[in-house]
Chains A and B, each alone.
Chain A
Amino acid sequence: MAAKPWHGAARTVLTALSVAGLLPPVAALFEASMSMHLLVQMPLLAICGGYWVYRSTRLQRVLDWVDPSGGIALVVGSGWLIYWMLPLSLDLATFDPAMRLLKIATVPVFVGAALTWSWLRLGPIGRGVMLLEAWAILGRMGWVLLISPVQLCSNYLIGDQQRTGSLLLGAALVSAIVVAVWALFGPFRKPHRTELE
């Protein structure tokens, strides 16, 4: 049986609502713990925006005119990423409806789409800097959450906070290993390793 056209649209709407945490069971799941909120929902929201930039040539044409170097997107994306990693913002998004809406509306665009655009525009060195900075953010945040003796979010217990810290450090470590393997054995290696420059 051929898929009806509205099936696709319905699936998109359902996915969007789920990622946004607007369907009650998903909302409870996403915001119930700090690790789910920071490490699952936030990345999902950002990936939605990134996917949009990646797939839409029309959007790429607009961005190409607005920000041909990808620099504006990099600045906006980094700033907004830092803002949403603060305990303050994470906390407010769990009980302040305006902040929840701000998160759903802006994280895909100003974090996901912006960082994807700058990634697409940057050369290998720029991308390397982005990766290093990403690991630095994960490491710093992870470390702070892990060693802080006080509960930083009023809505998340300290045990949850420490677990999130460990997971952030773990994410940094795993991604660094993956990238290192990719750099050593992937397309960037020199073709003739015996030849020294």
Chain B
Amino acid sequence: MIARSAIGIVLAGSLVTALLWERTAGFSAFTYETLRRVEVAREPAPVSDWRLQDAQGDLVRLSDWRDQTLLVGFIYTQCPSFCVALGSRYEQLQRVLQTGTASDVRLLSISIDPEQDTPARLAAYRRRHGGLQASWTVARPADAQVLDDLIRETGLRVIPDGLGGFAHSESLHWIRNGRLVRISDWRDPELEKLIADGG
């Protein structure tokens, strides 16, 4: 009976370990945000050709930058914390773009609050962070459908923060040729190097 119990326990232990291994992408993802990163790194996800309105009020599409890699961050201009930090980070990254030959990369900030974020507010956001239109586009989804699409396709989670704003993913999304190819932490010190290498 002891032998049978021991075999049963070892089998159950192996099964549980294998299951946990599978569910956490090899014990690497314990939060949804890390799981997104691991999954995208394993298998780039296709994204549709989002229609956006930029800070000049012009309609643009992802496919307009077909020959470039896009580094996409999601923001809303009334955001008091993370989006301010992300603005400063983009300003740093923009300097890398200006000095190097890294015109293969374009910075793109997309508003998740298109009702409030008019083109004028988007322009003010970029101006506040010393952003230049040449390498940094700030835009909002052209309509509610586009917002739904980009949330669904990137796996982004947006929830009300209880103060009239939003809590949302702090990751940056690399999009190339209509595919989401990588998700990075905005604080990642490798970002400069990745940008210099053309994404």
Contacts and interface: CB of A to CB of B under 8 A. Distances in A.
Please indicate whether A and B come from the same complex rather than being unrelated chains.
yes
Interface string A57-69: 0000000001111
Q: Is the interface of A mostly helix, strand, loop or mixed?
A: helix
Given A76-B12, A79-B17, A88-B24, A71 B5 contact: yes
B167 interface: yes
A154 interface: yes
Contacts of A68: 1, 5
A153 B32 contact: yes
A11 to B, nearest CB: 34
Contacts of B23: 83, 88-89
A151 B169 CA distance: 9
A67 B19 contact: no
Nearest to B1: A68
Highest count of chain B CB atoms <10 Å: which of A72, A80, A154: A154
Interface in B3-21: 5-6, 8-9, 11-13, 15-17, 19-20
A69 B7 CA distance: 12
Contact of B157 (A71, A87, A95, A158): A95
Interface of B: 1-2, 5-6, 8-9, 11-13, 15-17, 19-20, 23-24, 29-35, 157, 159, 161-162, 167, 169
Interface of A: 66-69, 71-72, 75-76, 79-80, 82-83, 86-89, 91-92, 95, 151-155, 157-158
24 contacts: A66-B8, A69-B1, A69-B9, A71-B9, A72-B9, A72-B11, A72-B12, A75-B12, A79-B13, A79-B19, A79-B20, A82-B20, A83-B23, A86-B31, A87-B31, A87-B32, A88-B30, A89-B23, A91-B32, A151-B167, A153-B31, A154-B32, A154-B157, A155-B159
